[in-house]
Amino acid sequence: MAILLIEDSLADARLLQEVLKGSALTESHLVHVQRLQVAIDHLTREDFDIVLLDLTLPDSYGLASLDTVTAVTPHLPIVVLTNTNDDELAVRAVRHGAQDYLIKRQINSEVLVRALRYAIERKQSAEDLRIANETLELRVQQRTAELKAANESLWQEIAWRQQIQDRLALAQQVGKIGTFEWLLPEHQVLWTAELEALYGLQPGSFGDRPSPWLERIYPEDRGRVDVAMEQILNSGQGLNLEFRIIWPDGELHWIAITSSIFDDPLRQTQRMIGLHMDITEKKQLEAQFLRAQRLESLGTLASGIAHDLNNILTPVLSVAQLLPLKFPNINDQTRNLLTILETSARRGSDLIKQILSFARGIEGKRVCLQVSHLITEIRHIIRQTLPKSIDIFVEVDPDLWMVNGDVTQLHQVLMNLCVNARDAMPHGGSLSITAANVMVDDALARQHLDAIAGPHVEVTITDTGMGIAPALLPRIFDPFFTTKEIGKGTGLGLSAVLGIVRSHGGFIDVQ
């Protein structure tokens, strides 16, 4: 047995040599060095079976010596020698790679031989275990590589199918489409998460029955859907209809269903497969297009009538102004009648101007102006004229953008809207005017026929009045349409507002 003894004390080294001579290892070859660096040189040049290491050396101390030897010869067993009986140090030494821990004053031939043999055996067992683990790990790696190669095509197919599934889900989300599968006799339905999202619901909200879905349909459309449901089994055709639904927040949306019925020979039943599509934006655009067509027709008609009326009123107004000059000695009663005639003619002329502002969007003098100054002026006027029972609130962005517009026309727009708000609050309330910078994106521009994407100044006028019935909203901009009593409104105020806003490249949203 080749033993390397690293011990700086010659006395302790001689003691160990004598103990070895009187033991079963008397034929062992012992090499003694006093410094760690010398021991490292021996370990790199010679082969040893075991190392006896003192932890107190001139050029190294403590467990650092053990770490150095272990780093140089990781497979060589090491027995640590020390003068102290320190259990904690012994545990730490074993954790750092030592096979045993001996106290010098307690060493005898039997203890030394047993420690050396056990250290070699433990190290050999550890080495065998390491080789076995490496062999096993190599076999596992080889087997893993084989499995990976065998499953590569399968993973590629799974990834390809998942990619298709993800693209389909994304396409459904972008297109606002959701699919369903309906087992007709059992009335069991499989709803996709994309479909439930169209109804403003979380996945799984519909369960596997049609009743939760039917509850979301707008009451006025429910009967039509029930009739279509009853005809499915009799006609053998799927659902193909449009209807309104109610979101959890109360908002109305339009849904279109397209489906077909298929025979399922395995289950000996029929199933209906189809899709739901959110067509709310399409319906809104259709309504706006029809409204625009109607307003265009009304505008053309109103423009023609206004032109004819203007031709009629012009000589009337001229004669009413010329008669007092031609007959200066007329009596007061006649002069008063001529004044009434002139005033009425002027009112008729002003009414015609309002009609034309709706029909043609009168082009006035455009300048670069600050809307905040216009709102400040409006606030001053309405505070002087509106009833004290109406509270007025104004909030304007301090960095509001400039706009290119006609001051008089924009003043008319704000005044008309504020007067309408006043008329809607006969018993008082609150009127708020806000102005802010907004960027109109393509999605919002698509919802309004008159809108153009880009930077806008948004002016919002809100009141707490009686509101407008939903059925009347599509007609409020029609000329001569009014909900006010006879003599309290001409029905041209909002028509003029719409014409002016359009002529300025803007659009109106009413809620």
Query: Contacts by 17-25 with C-beta closer than 8 Å and gap 24+?
Result: 19/107, 19/108, 19/109, 19/112, 20/109, 20/112, 22/109, 23/109, 23/110, 23/112, 23/113, 24/109, 24/113, 25/1, 25/112, 25/113, 25/116
What is the per-residue pLDDT for 267? 60
Nearest to 428 by CA among 397, 387, 458: 387
- The helix/strand/coil state of 98 is coil
Half-sphere exposure of 269 (CA within 13 A, CB side): 11
Q: What residue spans define the domains of the chain?
A: 2-131, 175-278, 284-360, 367-503
d(CA 286, CA 447): 10
Question: Could you report the per-residue pLDDT of 121-143, keeping only the tens digit for each?
Answer: 777 777 777 788 888 888 888 88
CATH class of 2-131: alpha beta
Flag whether pLDDT at 279 surpasses 60. Answer: yes
Flag whether pLDDT at 361 surpasses 60. Answer: no
Encode burial over 8-18: b for 16+ CB neighbours within 10 A, e otherwise. bbeebbeebee
Phi and psi angles of residue 370, each rounded to the nearest 5 degrees, phi first:
-100, 115
In CATH terms, the fold of domain 175-278 is: Beta-Lactamase (3.30.450)
- Average pLDDT along the chain: 81
Q: Could you tell me the sign of the dihedral formed by the alpha carbons of 25, 30, 36, 37, in that order?
A: negative
d(CA 313, CA 318): 8
d(CA 95, CA 5): 21
- The helix/strand/coil state of 469 is coil
pLDDT greater at residue 495 or residue 462: 462
d(CA 306, CA 308): 5
% of residues, the chain, pLDDT over 90: 7
Flag whether pLDDT at 360 surpasses 60. Answer: no
> For 385-399, what is the mean pLDDT?
90
Question: Could you report the per-residue pLDDT of 158-200, keeping only the tens digit for each?
Answer: 777 777 766 666 666 666 688 888 887 778 888 888 888 889 8
Nearest to 421 by CA among 390, 381, 383, 393: 390
What is the per-residue pLDDT for 463? 93
* Lookup: tokens for 151: 């499953």
What is the per-residue pLDDT for 291? 66
Under a CB-based contact definition with an 8 Å cutoff, are residues 191 and 206 in contact?
A: yes
- Range ranked top by mean pLDDT from 97-106, 167-176, 293-302: 97-106
Flag whether pLDDT at 14 surpasses 80. Answer: yes
Let me know the angle formed at the C-alpha of 494 by 493 and 498, rounded to the nearest 5 degrees: 125
> For 64-86, what is the mean pLDDT?
85
* Lookup: tokens for 103: 């106290």
Residue 422 CA, distance from chain mean position? 40
Output DSSP code: residue 386.
S
What is the per-residue pLDDT for 269? 64
Q: Provide the 10 A C-beta neighbour count for residue 323.
A: 17
pLDDT class of 293 with cuts at 50, 70, 90? low
What is the per-residue pLDDT for 295? 60
What is the per-residue pLDDT for 296? 64
d(CA 433, CA 504): 20
CA distances from 369 to 72, 373, 379, 399, 413 (A): 85, 8, 17, 13, 15
Question: Could you report the per-residue pLDDT of 200-251, keeping only the tens digit for each?
Answer: 889 888 988 888 888 899 988 888 888 888 887 677 778 888 899 999 988 8
Flag whether pLDDT at 28 surpasses 80. Answer: no
**Element (H or E) spanning 284, and its range?**
helix 280-326
Alpha helices (runs of H) in 428-474, residue ranges in sequence order: 442-446
Flag whether pLDDT at 384 surpasses 60. Answer: yes
Which class for 277: exposed (0-12), middle (13-18), buried (19 or more C-beta within 10 A)? buried
What is the per-residue pLDDT for 455? 92
> For 141-149, what is the mean pLDDT?
85
Query: Edge-to-edge, what's the strand order for the sheet holding 269-278?
Result: 188-191, 177-183, 269-278, 252-264, 240-246
- The helix/strand/coil state of 420 is helix
In CATH terms, the fold of domain 367-503 is: Heat Shock Protein 90 (3.30.565)
CA distances from 367 to 237, 405, 407, 409, 436 (A): 62, 6, 8, 12, 20
> For 451-462, what is the mean pLDDT?
91
Q: Provide the 10 A C-beta neighbour count for residue 185.
A: 11
Output DSSP code: residue 25.
T
* Lookup: tokens for 38: 């010398």
Flag whether pLDDT at 425 surpasses 70. Answer: yes
d(CA 192, CA 228): 22
Range list of β-strands (E), 279-427 = 367-370, 390-396, 402-405
pLDDT class of 70 with cuts at 50, 70, 90? confident
